[in-house]
Amino acid sequence: MVCAPSPARFSKAARLVAQGHDLPGFNVSERVSRERQRIAFGVLDRLAQHPRLVRVYPAQALCPQERCVVMMGGKLLFFDSHHLDIPGSETLVPMLARALRQGA
């Protein structure tokens, strides 16, 4: 299993939430986030040709309606600009479990 990069560029949002600001509507375009990480996605696309490789895309859980959110259910999802914190990681558990079953 290979996990694609999480949506990126949330450092300002994480800093604002840490300062006590509420950011339930803060988001970034999934397309913009993916473009910023195009090199990593290119590598993953080349790896995809391996028949037993299962790819996981965090954006599927973190970017509803093609907008990547920084908060979900009132909880901050990112520790810094591109690393998920515990609530953010927990949003990926169902997706990771499916991928592990698929790759078994």
Q: With 0-12 CB in 10 A as exposed, 13-18 as middle and 19+ as buried, what is 91?
A: middle
pLDDT tens digits for range 3-12:
777 776 666 6
Total-model pTM: 0.71
Please give the residue range of the domain that contains residue 67: 2-103
Measured distance between the N- and C-terminal CA atoms of the chain, rounded to whole angstroms: 10
Number of domains in the chain: 1
pLDDT tens digits for range 12-70:
666 676 677 666 667 777 888 778 788 888 888 887 777 778 888 888 898 888 888 88
